[in-house]
Structure 1
């Protein structure tokens, strides 16, 4: 955070005071409600008992579809002080999550004649109406930084149990917000020096951001992930660093870390010996580094293996010919 973004001590104190007041007031929300009517575990226990005694009438009453509406207000109260970007309690460790998860996973009564069980969707539906909107709101207000994207992936989205419905509005809103923040993180927060040879830019934060962006593959549309991760981050930022790193083992290690970030499925159905269009410059960068200084060394084989992994077979063959390492062609043809 830069100096012009830092909050004054008085502002921090005032914010904390307001936050404490909100938390204190939230304790009064259910003060006039019986304990067994605002305790999620006790509520679900009653429905579970009903389901076991009268399974068919329970299903005919569509209880599983109504429960999320009953539970959502209770869950939102428990989430008032929860933030995925802070050191809050892990979502799966929260009492309400355990209670709803246990209810959703409970075995169906053998007396029920139904194959599908709407109760299995209670937890995903609660998450869609409580967790996802809260995360979306946080991301819209919090500055888009490497830390934001990293913690979001680690603490929230990878651990979510989402509904079988592929495209709920809450999920789509979250994905759209994440995509916007990822683009801003790459375009605004990644520093690209005007004179790169005079400025040693650390590659570690860039690799970390690349890894986190590509984790969204299969959740966010592939074209979007490739556009942000490869076209913008790899080709505009990381390649600049690699081009200005002296050829050698350090450079190759960086290339290995880059390739390790790529989803393998992107390269499974590529034909004609060509890699992804967005990774061509990266592959050529590897070849230039090897052919310039290490044409007859073991590093050549390491680079060829990397090129084969990303299906840049033509580039790999050209490198073996230029470096006169004909025995490596057998590796390419496998």
Structure 2
């Protein structure tokens, strides 16, 4: 009996241990079940959130697929509007120069004016002459406005065409276009009517499910989702008045997009603004430089140079779009240098009172203006390209008139000294060595000094000429 009792006690202890183990396992199982239930509830919530977000994004994409083409079409229309305005201004400038060149040089050759007729044989010469007279009156008013009495002056050459005559119609069309653009999103759902609404949805996803946000590469699509809203604001952006990107609402709203939680250095959301500037803003600015921008405008330089610096501060300048922006600026200057060389720059007559001399002197001042504006870009654009283009312009479009002036009597020492000093003060100091353009300039000044000495020019004037060589 004693032995049986011991055995029973051992069995009871074993059962007790088994019960304790089972109880522990039950508790663990219950805990695991609770965890799985919580996970399941979380997954259900995540699934419902994903479903809702998917539907919202699908609706947003449908909306943008409808609205984006309208915005791009409006931007293209705005570009065409700016281009047509720019062409009208450039044509008017070209006609002013052609009128005065024709008046000076055709008269010298006694070129008879042929009767101009249209395809039906009707005389259109009257209309052409009427346009010429209207432009002459416009130049007369311009000179009166600037207080210019002497033709061919530096003041007139340095003046750049304003937009008063052509701006009214452009402003009205632009206003109507912007009103149409403003109405594009009026019928859109509140969840994607503004950039704020889209940003809120995307940031909500990143906050709640950062890993899913990363794994699905949503960051790569974010700039494309924001782009239509950025384009809309660009069309209203008065960048010549406010050239900084921070003047735009989209820039400030997206400046800290996705910047919460544990941000890593390689987080693609850090590049949202640079990518928008590269892909959307830079092409828009490039269109402005190609169409409306006047390379001769001193007044515009602070704003336009600030624009270019803003782009280069945000985007690698070696990327295709920034490169196109920089090359567009250089191309505009190169084109102007080329066009300038096709207009008479040296008078054919020896009489310095002739209209040819007045016109060519005006063109020389105009060439100087172009050189000054070009050189203002030397610390922003390629210094080597700027130097080559500047020297080419100086040698081809400015030195010939200076040479002619020096070799033709009567001698006008004061004018020559003024022209040479203008060149010397315009060129960078590092260019004024004994090589290149400076050497050519010194050579013709030396020759001029010898000519003046033989012609009995006063000692005072000879000293002034020699001072140019120092």
Instruction: Mark yes or no: TM-score above 0.5.
Output: yes
Q: Is 2:187 the partner of 1:32?
A: yes
Q: Aligned-pair distance for 1:72?
A: 0.6
Q: 1:24-103, aligned counterparts within 5 Å?
A: 24-35=179-190, 37-41=192-196, 43-44=198-199, 47-48=202-203, 51=206, 56-82=211-237, 84=239, 87=241, 90-103=244-257
Match of 2:332 in 1: 181
Distance 1:241 1:45 in 2: 65
Deviations, residues 105-146 of structure 1 (Å, cap 9, x unaligned): x5x74x34x432322321121122222222333444447642
Q: Aligned-pair distance for 1:249?
A: 8.7
8 Å Cα contact 1:290-1:299 kept in structure 2: no
Q: CA, structure 1 residues 56+298, in 2 after alignment: closer, same or farther (shift >3 Å)?
A: farther
Q: Is 2:441 the partner of 1:285?
A: yes
Provide structure 1 residue ranges, at least 5 long, that are not aligned to the other structure.
268-273, 304-334
Deviations, residues 58-84 of structure 1 (Å, cap 9, x unaligned): 444434322110111001111223465
Q: Is 2:390 the partner of 1:229?
A: yes
8 Å Cα contact 1:90-1:155 kept in structure 2: yes
Q: 1:257-268, aligned counterparts within 5 Å?
A: 257-259=426-428
Q: Is 2:271 the partner of 1:121?
A: yes
Deviations, residues 277-334 of structure 1 (Å, cap 9, x unaligned): xx6122442466479455998876xx4xxxxxxxxxxxxxxxxxxxxxxxxxxxxxxx
Distance 1:283 1:100 in 2: 54
Q: 1:1-334, aligned counterparts within 5 Å?
A: 1=89, 2=92, 15-35=170-190, 37-41=192-196, 43-44=198-199, 47-48=202-203, 51=206, 56-82=211-237, 84=239, 87=241, 90-103=244-257, 109=261, 111-112=262-263, 114-142=264-292, 145-147=295-297, 150=301, 153-160=304-311, 161-164=313-316, 166-168=318-320, 170-189=321-340, 193-195=345-347, 198=357, 199=361, 201-202=364-365, 205-218=369-382, 224-231=385-392, 233-239=393-399, 251-252=420-421, 254-259=423-428, 280-286=436-442, 289=445, 292=449, 293=462, 303=470
Deviations, residues 71-99 of structure 1 (Å, cap 9, x unaligned): 11001111223465x54665431111222
Q: CA, structure 1 residues 152+118, in 2 after alignment: closer, same or farther (shift >3 Å)?
A: same
Distance 1:19 1:227 in 2: 39
Distance 2:213 2:385 in 1: 44
Distance 1:77 1:295 in 2: 60
Provide structure 2 residue ranges, at least 5 long, that are not aligned to the other structure.
1-88, 97-134, 136-162, 406-412, 450-461
Q: CA, structure 1 residues 24+260, in 2 after alignment: closer, same or farther (shift >3 Å)?
A: farther
Q: CA, structure 1 residues 192+227, in 2 after alignment: closer, same or farther (shift >3 Å)?
A: farther
Deviations, residues 26-55 of structure 1 (Å, cap 9, x unaligned): 122111234453433454455456556665
Question: Structure 1 stretch 137-146 or stretch 204-213: which is displaced more?
Answer: 137-146
Match of 2:23 in 1: none
8 Å Cα contact 2:371-2:390 kept in structure 1: no
8 Å Cα contact 1:36-1:42 kept in structure 2: yes
* Count of residue pairs the alignment pairs up: 278
Q: TM-score of the superposition, structure 1-length normalised?
A: 0.62
Distance 2:317 2:171 in 1: 39
Distance 1:74 1:176 in 2: 28
Match of 1:327 in 2: none
Distance 2:182 2:277 in 1: 22
Distance 1:167 1:93 in 2: 24
8 Å Cα contact 1:210-1:234 kept in structure 2: no
Tell me which structure has the larger Cα radius of gyration: 2
**What is the CA RMSD across the aligned residues, in angstroms?**
4.6
Distance 1:46 1:283 in 2: 67
Distance 2:165 2:399 in 1: 44
8 Å Cα contact 1:101-1:123 kept in structure 2: yes
